[in-house]
Structure 1
Amino acid sequence: MDRLHDEMRARGSGNLRPILSLNLPDELLPIQRSVNTLMERLETALSTERAFAASAAHELRNPLGALMAQVQMLGRMLPAGSELDERVELIASRTRRLARTVEKLLQLSRASSGIAFRRDRFDLLAVIHVLVDDLTCNVYDDVHIILKTNRISKIFVYGDMDATGILIRNLLENALLHRNIARPVVVTILPDGCIDITNDCAALSPETLARLTNPFVRGSHTVYGSGLGLAIASNIAQQMDATLSLCSPLAGTTRGFGVSIRFPDLETQTGEQGD
């Protein structure tokens, strides 16, 4: 009975495999068969849902890229000072927003498929450095991210490095999108290896904060976002047994938003370099 109980507890969205033979007493075999039937039905339903989201996003990605290229070409063909410039820029802006939403749907589909259940050892801080550099140099205009490592040079965790990159990138993009542009996003590595990401903004209500990791929930209606970034991050964090905590306002203030994430079984190393 205990073995059956343990096997049932081990099942989840990333593990819907049938329970193999446990040499159970005859009176418990119907329970095992029923659980396996349920797992099979759940796997079919989830696979269908994930496949639809991924296929829809893929089918939209290429046409959106072509549309964006046509809009940009149209903008270059207009004479300087044309009254149509504003409308072309509006179309381009809406196309970019839709493309970002499609990209997030792809990430959500991947996250929901259980991509983060691998347990490889890698340096989390190296991933953070790459993401901060990429966002600062290539993606956003006027980006200011402050990384405080507190003399920690490495953070070794167990998980999937690509999935972790998606997780951290979504947290950083969320902070950049909703920040007060006059204030930087601050990433702090605490001595115990916990990662804090904070940005200045108007404080969120407790009701909104409690729902913020649900898909398509937005904390602000003045800034356009997909409403998927924190949902993706939360999904991946759960698969990696990481603890993701949100707070608003920040401690000791009446403003701001913060995310803390801590990975299990992490190891930190200190070095001479660091803030």
Structure 2
Amino acid sequence: MKNEVSDYPSSDSRRDEPGGTLYVVATPIGNLDDLSPRATRTLAHVDVVAAEDTRHSGRLLSHLGIQKRMIALHDHNEKDRAAGILAELKAGRDVALISDAGTPLISDPGYVLVRDARAAGYRVSPIPGPCALVVALSAAGLPTDRFLYVGFLPAKRSGRRASLEPLASEPATLVFYESPHRILESVRDIAEVLGEDREMVLGREITKTFETFYSGSIAEVLAELEQDPHGTRGEFVVMVRGAMAQPGNDDAATMDVDRVLRVLLAELPVKKVAKMASELTGLSKNELYQRALALKDS
């Protein structure tokens, strides 16, 4: 089979690396049609597939008409299994690393294996494809010039809030993954720590039959989730607009916001000022309220 494949790697000469190649292969996050032709050829080409869940990935390979020897590699056994996979590479066998869905290593196993394969001098070649956080951001309508991928928040409320607090002033768009049984609790904590007026977009079951996007303020998204009978089903990507510029910055945008607030404060109470300034600037009402209070006190 290897002799029939001419594009591994794609522009792709083997160069002088010893042994086999470790291919890091992105697989669909829902819709099987999203698997690239190159990913399909790679899975057909390799000698071994290292999969997070061999039963789950076995169904994907069966759908493709591919039969391969599989090795289970997940969070609980990766350190132990990495040595065995390196032995496969040393023997000249090519290995594909896949996760249950999306791109390996992005909140999925594979870091230890990829690190060790590189350290041992074996070639590691990415086969790009779906990645839930990138797919979600592309359809969110939030700023993407800078974003911070946080992954899954801690399961317990105290840990979740402790993780969120340092992010309250982060100006980059924040991206989280969340499971269905914790989505409501997580959004409630995000609202409390970051402010319920912060803009949020939440993607559920992306690329699947019941793909849904919820958008608005965090309070509005939470209310919509609570009212939707399907709102706690499926996998979620949670995206939150970054914080506005901190008071004290000398950039023109911050100065203009302060000017708007001062003009309004001369005539209106702080709560009304925050509401009107939010409508004028598109910034968070809660953050503008806090800034207006500071300006009034000064």
TM range (shorter): under 0.3
Structure with a larger share of its residues in helix? 1
Structure whose alpha-carbon radius of gyration is higher:
2
Q: Which has the higher contact order (CA 8 A, sep 6+)?
A: 1
Task: Give the TM-score of the pair, scaled to structure 2.
Answer: 0.20
